[in-house]
Structure 1
Amino acid sequence: MKRLTRTIAVAALASTLAIASGCSGADDSNSAGGSGDGKTLEKVTYLTSFANFGRDAYAYVAKDKGYFKEAGFDVDIKPGSGTLNNLKAVATGTAMFTPLDLTGILQARGTGSPEAKEVTVVAGIQQRTMAAIITLDDKGITTPKDLEGKTLVDSPSSVVRNLFPTYATLAGVDAKKVTWRDGDPAGLIGLLAGGAAQGIGQFVVGKPTVEAAAKGKKAVVLPYSDVMTDLYGNVLITSSKIAKEDPEKVKRFTAALIKGLVASIDNPTETGQILNKNVPTAAAAPAAAETELMASFVRSAGSGAAVGTIDIARVSRSIAILQGAGAIPPGLTPEQLIDVNLTPKA
């Protein structure tokens, strides 16, 4: 997308995927063998959207509780590194499934990314975008208008940064009065907590992690969803080849993952513990807090949509927003990316 989120070198991702993961400790199969009913489990590589935060812990819940195993899968969960790299991994078959921000995928597809043409959206994870600007209570920013004259930091390919001009227009902010500096996605929270940034591009659910790093300071969150209500957050993608050749496998995997998603937001404390058990470097408390915050985005009260569903009409409006902002050229339609025969039904 000219895209979005977290741009870490593809080589780093390839390296990560080549190493046996030490952060997927829950065992779907209990052995290299089968599912317990005599059937051999199919091995699947799944990438989180980015690293291992509470927002992605539902995959570990699905694995820990045996939902993947029940569906016939032995799932290897690996930390993803953002939209561009995850798209490439799924398009080339290095990974089979990953959740990514739909706006970022639309931008990538609309601007001609070859990888974005090779993937299919099969489920919704968050019914509203979680994109946001996060700052701290000592920065003098409490409303969108306060961003004028301030310096924000984010990756050049971040969905937050690329959507900012549209957000600014709708929120009554003069985008020309806001300065952006480049920053490594993995180091953004540290820059904000250390005083090197006045605000950063983040997801809404990053608030607890920001406050944990800021040691006593409160985070101020300016969600894009306040003014852009039609944009979805993360969606589940697979390769178009898998979607076409094995739709039943896609449906089984999706159902197991969504079951884990529901279980995670229903039990955030347990979710934090499960993530910490599988990824010891991920603290349980911030992960639980992120999961709790994410619940309202997964079950969007305003839309009343069932977990995992996607409304094609809303996606059309999202595309119109991006085209109106000049972020993508005309011609893109939801059907070019989304297979409505595979997405969960309301």
Structure 2
Amino acid sequence: MRLRRSVVALTAVLGLALVSACNSGDDKGSDEGLQKISYLTSFGQFGREAYAYVALEKGYFKDAGFDVKISPGSGTVDVMKQVAGGQADYGIGDFTAIAITLGKQKLPVTTVGMIHQKSLAAIVSLEGLGIKDAKDLEGKNIGDQPGSTNQVTFPVYAQRVGIDDKKVSFVGAPPPTLPQLLSSGKVQGIGQFVVGVPLVEKADDKHRKAVVLSYGKVLPELYGNAILTRTDLAKEKPDQVKKFTTALLKGLDDAIKDPAGAAEILKKYVPTTDVTVATEELKLMTPFSKPDNAGDPLGAVDPERVQKVLDLLSTASAIQPAGALKPADVVTVDLAPKG
């Protein structure tokens, strides 16, 4: 009788253990064993950022071993500071703004690949607001997020087009409010990526056409957005960095091949997304992301071109003293995608 009771008790214990194990597995779900990674977009959750959500939705991050949390960034400088401080593992920022910032303060961050092979930065206005070309910017008010790519890089652009950047006033405003601020006429221009034109025009109830002053047209040397991470992560976990970058760029590849599909995925995660606007943004972004050299993969970095960018910034006095930064100070070339 005592033996029978022992067997029954043991069976009950094993049964409870099995149930507990099953419940534990259910709680962790399919993310069990994945490494948690935090990621910041460059600027809000606009269509141009959809590639990260594509990588998430299609399982590219999971296949690489990561459980990725995507949060909206608020401009290059802020993204750099959050990555440097450990609040995020990876982020996106404009390469020129990154270099300028690193020339002023030694943040422990590095870039490991390019999202855009050409700069998307621009000042965007609307017809009738007094801005037709760069010469019209002097004496105008430009709305922008403090520390944004457009604002940090503006002095370099101003020097190239021959205007005094100190005669242009930047008015601080959160990214989502910029199109409405412009439409109301409270500012005559806003800092915006060229892909943001559909959003700007949609927000204008007078249906005016956008006037776009593209930095990239007068500064073709410049890269656009780059992938950021901490320098210690790049040194100590290079395999992780490569896997994450590869997964993210797979999302980018899908997004530029199927902009409408990427926009729908973005809407799933960001319900306020206007699919039509997001689709147009991605279409406009495509030529900026593809390397000029057909043999180079998405995300490729050319060290010689990086040096040219640094030389340009030194000449424009955006980095002082001249030669203060070397390519290795701003990019870890060995971790960038290669053909």
What's the TM-score once normalised by structure 1's chain length?
A: 0.84
| 2:118 matches 1:128 | yes
Aligned pair partner of 1:192 in 182, 191, 194:
182
- State the alpha-carbon separation in 1 of the partners of residues 174 and 303 from structure 2: 31
- State the alpha-carbon separation in 2 of the partners of residues 88 and 173 from structure 1: 30
- State the alpha-carbon separation in 1 of the partners of residues 304 and 244 from structure 2: 25
- For the residue of structure 1 that corresponds to 2:227, the secondary structure is strand
CA shift at 1:301, angstroms? 4.0
- State the alpha-carbon separation in 2 of the partners of residues 313 and 123 from structure 1: 15
The one-letter code of the counterpart of 1:133 is I
Whichever structure has more helix as a proportion of its residues is 2
Pairs within 5 Å for 1:75-154: 75-113=68-106, 116=107, 118-154=108-144
| 2:252 matches 1:261 | yes
Deviations along 1:175-234, one digit per CA (max 9) or x if unpaired, are 46x431322132222210111111111111111110111131211111011111111111
CA shift at 1:123, angstroms? 0.8
CA shift at 1:302, angstroms? 7.4
* Residues 253 and 284 of structure 1, relative CA distance in 2, 3 Å threshold: same
Structure 2 counterpart of 1:52: 45
CA shift at 1:269, angstroms? 0.7
* Residues 340 and 322 of structure 1, relative CA distance in 2, 3 Å threshold: same
Aligned pair partner of 1:181 in 170, 195, 209:
170
CA shift at 1:62, angstroms? 0.5
The one-letter code of the counterpart of 2:90 is F
Pairs within 5 Å for 1:170-319: 170-175=160-165, 178-186=167-175, 187-215=177-205, 216-301=207-292, 305-319=296-310
CA shift at 1:148, angstroms? 4.0
Contact 2:139 2:169 in 1 (8 A): no
- For the residue of structure 2 that corresponds to 1:32, the secondary structure is helix
The one-letter code of the counterpart of 2:333 is V
Aligned pair partner of 1:32 in 6, 17, 28:
28
Contact 2:134 2:161 in 1 (8 A): yes
- For the residue of structure 1 that corresponds to 2:110, the secondary structure is strand
* Residues 155 and 62 of structure 1, relative CA distance in 2, 3 Å threshold: closer
- State the alpha-carbon separation in 2 of the partners of residues 75 and 51 from structure 1: 17
Deviations along 1:72-129, one digit per CA (max 9) or x if unpaired, are 111111111222322222122221111111111111110024xx2x112111110011
Contact 1:91 1:239 in 2 (8 A): yes
- State the alpha-carbon separation in 1 of the partners of residues 50 and 228 from structure 2: 17
| 2:155 matches 1:165 | yes
Aligned residues: 311
For structure 1, which segment, 42-51 or 86-95, has the greater mean C-alpha deviation from structure 2 after superposition? 86-95
- State the alpha-carbon separation in 2 of the partners of residues 193 and 276 from structure 1: 25
Work out the percentage of aligned pairs sharing the same amino acid: 45
Structure 2 counterpart of 1:24: none
Deviations along 1:25-59, one digit per CA (max 9) or x if unpaired, are xxxxx973446xxx722111111112111111100
Larger Rg: 2
The one-letter code of the counterpart of 1:340 is V
Root-mean-square deviation (CA, aligned residues, Å) is 2.1
Deviations along 1:158-190, one digit per CA (max 9) or x if unpaired, are 3323333332332244546x4313221322222
Contact 2:140 2:187 in 1 (8 A): no
What's the TM-score once normalised by structure 2's chain length?
A: 0.86
- State the alpha-carbon separation in 1 of the partners of residues 192 and 94 from structure 2: 12
- For the residue of structure 2 that corresponds to 1:295, the secondary structure is helix
CA shift at 1:149, angstroms? 4.4
For structure 1, which segment, 146-155 or 79-88, has the greater mean C-alpha deviation from structure 2 after superposition? 146-155
- State the alpha-carbon separation in 2 of the partners of residues 106 and 303 from structure 1: 26
- State the alpha-carbon separation in 2 of the partners of residues 185 and 310 from structure 1: 31
For structure 1, which segment, 68-77 or 127-136, has the greater mean C-alpha deviation from structure 2 after superposition? 68-77
Contact 1:33 1:41 in 2 (8 A): no
Contact 2:122 2:212 in 1 (8 A): yes
CA shift at 1:345, angstroms? 0.5
